[in-house]
Amino acid sequence: MPTEKTATININLVPKDPFFETMIGRSLKWALSAGRYIVMFTELIVVLSFVTRFYLDRQITDLNREIFQKESVIQSYGDFEQEVRDIQERLSQYEQIEQEGNIVDTFPLLAEVIPTGIELEELVIYPDRVALKGTVLSQKSLNVLINNLQISPDFNNIVVSTIESEGNKNSGFVFQLTAQTEEIVKQKVIKK
């Protein structure tokens, strides 16, 4: 028996609306089909924003809790920090007093080594050195000063930076020199 092919028949009982064949109809049909996707996409964004909001709220809560805990730890160290600052201030005051003691000790030592005939115009005493600027009538007095400083165990590293003639007005010299006084500080530390 020969097989006969049956033809498929599509029957559409809904009549085609001639409105959808016009330009406005096609635009409206496209807007309705694309509008579905736009609405679904918008709903997806809204759901994601709600989920993100809950996640970010949780992070803010955790951060606020950590900040509160760290604030309480910092406040507990407040008294300790104040004590440390007080101790640092006392140490700096002690160092200043110790430096002043070094300055006071330097005066008699300088009086021992400065010979007569030297007139000091400027004397600066630092914690670790002294700087002298003055005039001397003769080169012999200047040599005696430099030798006394070199011989003295209280001064070292003597540097003469300037020796100039005063010119026609006087027969003397203007000099500048520096000497380190670290030995004085070391001796005080050993004595304590």
CATH architecture of 105-191: 2-Layer Sandwich (3.30)
With contact defined as beta carbons under 8 Å apart, do 167 and 128 qualify? no
- Edge-to-edge strands of the sheet including 173-180? 118-125, 129-136, 173-180, 156-165
Tens of pLDDT, residues 53-72: 999 999 999 999 999 999 98
Beta bridge partners of 3: none
Residue with tokens 């020796």: 163
Q: Is the pLDDT of residue 142 over 80?
A: yes
pTM over 0.85: no
Report the C-alpha gap between 45 and 48 in whole angstroms: 5
Q: Return the domain boundaries, the chain.
A: 105-191
Confidence category of residue 169, pLDDT binned at 50, 70, 90: low
